[in-house]
Each structure stands twice: as C-alpha cells, then as structure tokens.
Amino acid sequence: MNDATTGNGNGVLDPGETAILNVITKNSGHADALNAPAHLTVMNGSTPYIIVQTPNYTFSNLAAGQSASASFNVVTNIITPPLTNTELQYTVTAGNGAQYNCSEVLNVTVGATPQVLMTEGTFSVCNTDFFDTGGPDGPYGLNENIVMTLTPSTPGALLKVTFNAFDVESNTGCSWDYLNIYNGTTTSAPLIGTYCGTTTPPSFTATNTSGAITFKFHSDGMVAKAGWKAYVECLGGNLTATVAAFPPDVCSGNTSQLGTLTMGGTGSYTYEWSPAEYLDNPSSPTPIATAPSTTEFSVNIYDGSNNVTGTTTVTIHEYPVAPVVTIEGNALVSSYALGNQWFNDNGMIPGATAQSYVPSEEGNYYATVTSEFNCESESSNVVHYKPVGIGDPETSDDMMVYPNPFNNQLNMSYTLTKQSPVQITVWNHLGQLVATVANETMQSAGRHDIVFNGSSIEPGIYFIRFNTGSNSAVYRVVMTK
C-alpha cells in the first residue's frame, strides 16, 4: 500500500484517504501471459468502507515464472471505524477465452494504528503505538543511547502517553538500563521520572506549551529485555476538520455519503451542511447527498466556542454507452478496449473481462462495460455464437456485407433457411441508431438483396445488426468518402 503521493504518507490506509494498492502477481505457468487483464472489486460486506476507483489493470506481458505488480486506486470512507477489515476480490485472467484465471480474496485493514519505534530525532504523532527499538515482538538492543521527542501533529494539542507493557533490565537506582521521560522538547525540560524493571510507568499528559514529551533510553552491554509498548494520543488542540465524500465520484442518480474527521476544540460539535436541498439531513455529521450534477458541499462545524469550515466535491459521471459486440473470426469483440464483462445464457462469465472473448460452446453472448468510476452500461446487443465445426452451416441464416470499406453504397445479401422475421439496422460507434434498413415481420425463405445508401452519414465505423427469428449477428463496416 502506497499513500505517499495521494494520502498522508504514514504507511497506513486511514479513513478518508486515497491510496494505491499494489498487488504482486506471479505467472506460475510455462508461457508468457500477454495483455492479461486484472480486476479488483469490493466484496459486499466491505462496500460501506472502501471503493476501488480504478478496478481494471492490464499486464502487457507477464513472463512465465516472473512477478509484476498490478496497481489500483482505492478510497476509504472517512467515518470508517478504526481497525476495520475490508475484503477485496482480485482476479487475473489469461489466454483465449480467459481459460486461465486465478482469484484471491485480499484483506485490507482500514485505520490500523500507526507505529513508531524509539529513534533518534523529533517526530509529530497522534494516536500512535510507541515501542522500544525492538518493536512489538523483539527486545531492545545493547549499548543504546537514544533521545526521541514526540510532538502533537494536531496544532495546539497536548500529548498523553499510556504504557501498556514495560520490561527493562532492573537494578537499584535504574543505572543499568532505564527510560527517562521529560515534560518538553529536550532533556533539559522537567524530568517526569526514570523507569526500569517491570513496573509500568504511570500515564502522563504534557503540560508544556508545545505539548511535547521527550524520551531518553539507555541500555548497557549485558542484558536486553522485551522493552515497552505505549500509546500516544493527542488531547484537545485547535478545532480542525477533514471533510470528504464517499465515494467522491458517483454515477448519475446515485448517492454519496459526506463526512468529517473532526478533532480538537471542546469535543462537542454541531454541523450545518449546504446546499441543503441535496442532503437527507443537513445537520448530521454524515448526511447522504443526491446531487443532480457535480456539486461542492460545504460544512460549518461549531464546538460551542469556535467554528471551522470545510468543503468536498461530489463529481457526477454519466453511464457509458452500451458496447457493440461483433464476431471477428472465432472471437467475440467488444467496441470498448477496457472495462468489459462478458455474459452468456447462464449469466456472468467469471474472468471474461478482456475486449475479446472466444466462446467454447454455442449460445447467446453479450457484454457490458464499466467505466473507471464503476458506472456500468446497459447490455450490448446479444450475439448468437456457433463455434466453427458445430452444426450444419446450411441450416443457419447468414448475411454478406460488401464492399468493406464502402463509399456511399453498401450491399447486403442474406439467405433465409425458412420463412422468418428480418430486421437490419445501422448503428454508430456511440451505440446510436443511424438507420433501419429492413424491418419485416416475415420474409420468405431464400436469398434476399438490399442496398444501403450511406450518402447521408459521416465517414467512420458503423455496425450492421442482422436479426432473424433464429439468428443474430453484428458486422463491423467502415464508411469512407
């Protein structure tokens, strides 16, 4: 997880933060995986807490035996309780028809407590676990002499340290190994106490103007003990608020939850959000927004003495136009390069998310496309697919479209094996109907020829949909001038 560029950089996926999840993927097969799509989705129980902004990734060449990283942007809800475990479904596929695939559930904790180890220097913290140099599982080192100052990351706050475990080599007067605690930014500040042995030091809250606490640790060269675990928190401080929308990007007609992470002040807050007409409860700390278009929301937070304001924007995205599916050779091809999901008569085909799909059996197939903001289109046209070598070609309706590319005039010839309804339509690359060439409730069996006059349409890519009572096909053509 990387939150250095999009988050607060503390190495923890915090509530209200945007971060990059890198999923290391190894190709354990014997062949390279070319243009292998990977997909990351949120499992149902985790949807209130985390979203995947960029759910699709493509490995251009994942060589056999090699590992590579798939990167996904995720956003967490600002009101997610600390230490919330979320589950994400990771899937990667390869090969024609997505015949090779693997899937795994990833557990991602939101709001895990940051950790700091006894280190020389000055560090700003709030709500952090504090350990000796050995961390949570190991002993401290021998011959250590370290001075560390912790300052509150919340302006105006006071640090409070509470020890949960303590084990430092003991002797009378604590002269071998010891931890000194000072009420200030240096070891010249008032000494709160010198501690060794297994007696837990008492909790202490800084009283100096900077709110800082300084620690000095010394160990000799003889015995190293387990050390300590403490919790450092910020008390009071200036009234501050971080405001966020979850999710910040929504599809038209959907809702977003607004929220704030409010700290400092008196600890008792009231809220006033605007514009109120798009909110279910403008005085709630977490109102639900239903915006007709991209909208900036503002909130005024009052603690009885002071107030602070903040803003967040909910961006509205339209749904993508339904893809157009064509048959090219033995493959079904979507008009979208990314974001596809293929379906057949049995429903969604797991792992079939590439632009093309090679079915292994006869049936009806279609696709949907999901944008980078998780807006899913309507279903594409349904194509009936019959693999080469299955059935008798003389028993199926078929059409020839020529020339391709064409200039103004496009010939369409088809043969019906029996009396059937016929509909032939022309669609552009945006999925918009351009022309209806034929719409017959019933035509006789045999050959039929139609000429489409394209003089009124612009040059570009078009799709000819051919539907009979028992067959459906789409043909991709190019109009030139």
Tally Cβ neighbours within 10 Å of residue 474.
23
pLDDT in tens, 46-62: 988 999 988 888 898 88
377 lies in a domain?
Answer: no
Predicted local confidence at residue 49, as pLDDT: 92
* Amino acid identity, position 226: A
362 lies in a domain?
Answer: no
Contacts of 325 (CB under 8 A, 6+ apart): 332, 333, 334, 335, 365, 366, 367, 380, 381, 383, 474
Q: What is the spatial distance between Cα 213 and Cα 231, in angstroms, rounded to a whole number?
A: 13
Predicted local confidence at residue 66, as pLDDT: 92
Q: 30 and 53, same structural domain?
A: yes
Q: Which domain holds residue 135?
A: 115-235
**CA-wise closest residue to 115 among 4, 211, 228, 210:** 228
179 lies in a domain?
Answer: yes
Tell the burial category of 406 from Cβ atoms under 10 Å away from its Cβ (0-12, 13-18, 19+): middle
457 lies in a domain?
Answer: yes
The pairing of strands 100-110 and 121-125 is unpaired
Q: 226 and 125, same structural domain?
A: yes
Domain boundary among 295, 317, 339: 317
- The CATH number linked to 266 is 2.60.40.1080
Does the global pTM surpass 0.85? no
Q: 70 and 157, same structural domain?
A: no
Predicted local confidence at residue 366, as pLDDT: 94
Predicted local confidence at residue 427, as pLDDT: 86
pLDDT in tens, 299-313: 999 999 999 999 999
Q: 230 and 122, same structural domain?
A: yes
| HSE-up of residue 256 (Cα within 13 Å, Cβ side) | 31
325 lies in a domain?
Answer: no
12 lies in a domain?
Answer: no
Q: 312 and 209, same structural domain?
A: no
Q: What is the 3-state secondary structure (H, E, C) of the chain?
A: CECCCCCCCCCCCCCCCEEEEEEEEECCCCCCEEEEEEEEEECHHHCCCEEECCCEEEEEEECCCCEEEEEEEEEECCCCCCCEEEEEEEEEEECHHHCEEEEEEEEEEECCCCEEECCCEEEEECCEEEECCCCCCCCCCCCCEEEEEEEECCCCEEEEEEEEEEEECCCCCCCCCEEEEECCCCCCCCEEEEECECCCCCCEECCCCCCCEEEEEECCCCCCCCEEEEEEEEEECCCEEEEEEECCEEECCCCEEEEEEEECCCCCCEEEEECHHHECCCCCCCCEECCCCCEEEEEEEECCCCEEEEEEEEEEECCCCCCCEEEECCEEEECCCCCEEEEECCEECCCCCCCEECCCCCEEEEEEEECCCCCECCCCCCEEECCCCCCCHHHCCEEEEECCCECCEEEEEEEECCCEEEEEEEEECCCCEEEEEEEEEEECCEEEEEEEECCCCCCEEEEEEEEECCCEEEEEEEECC
Using CA atoms, how far residue 157 sits from 171, 267, 303, in Å, is 36, 12, 16
Q: 209 and 148, same structural domain?
A: yes
346 lies in a domain?
Answer: no
Question: How many separate domains does the chain show?
Answer: 4
336 lies in a domain?
Answer: no
Q: 216 and 119, same structural domain?
A: yes
Q: 253 and 229, same structural domain?
A: no
Q: What is the spatial distance between Cα 248 and Cα 74, in angstroms, rounded to a whole number?
A: 11
Q: 219 and 124, same structural domain?
A: yes
- The CATH number linked to 78 is 2.60.40
Contacts of 431 (CB under 8 A, 6+ apart): 321, 322, 323, 324, 335
Predicted local confidence at residue 472, as pLDDT: 77
- The CATH number linked to 462 is 2.60.40.2550
Q: 463 and 445, same structural domain?
A: yes
pLDDT, tens digit only, all 481 positions of the chain:
888 777 777 778 988 888 999 999 999 888 888 888 898 999 988 988 999 988 888 898 889 899 999 999 999 998 888 889 999 999 998 876 566 788 999 999 998 888 999 999 999 998 899 999 999 999 999 999 999 999 998 889 999 999 999 999 999 999 999 999 999 999 999 999 999 999 999 999 999 999 999 999 999 999 999 999 999 999 988 998 989 999 899 999 999 999 998 888 888 999 999 999 999 999 999 999 999 999 999 999 999 999 999 999 999 999 999 999 888 877 889 999 888 999 998 898 877 888 889 887 888 899 999 988 889 999 998 888 876 443 333 345 678 888 888 888 898 888 888 888 999 999 887 778 899 999 998 999 888 989 999 888 988 888 888 888 777 788 888 888 7
Write out the two tokens for 133. 């140099």
Domain boundary among 181, 208, 235: 235
- The CATH number linked to 200 is 2.60.120.290
Predicted local confidence at residue 387, as pLDDT: 62
Q: 246 and 214, same structural domain?
A: no
Domain boundary among 83, 110, 137: 110
Q: 274 and 201, same structural domain?
A: no
Predicted local confidence at residue 97, as pLDDT: 59
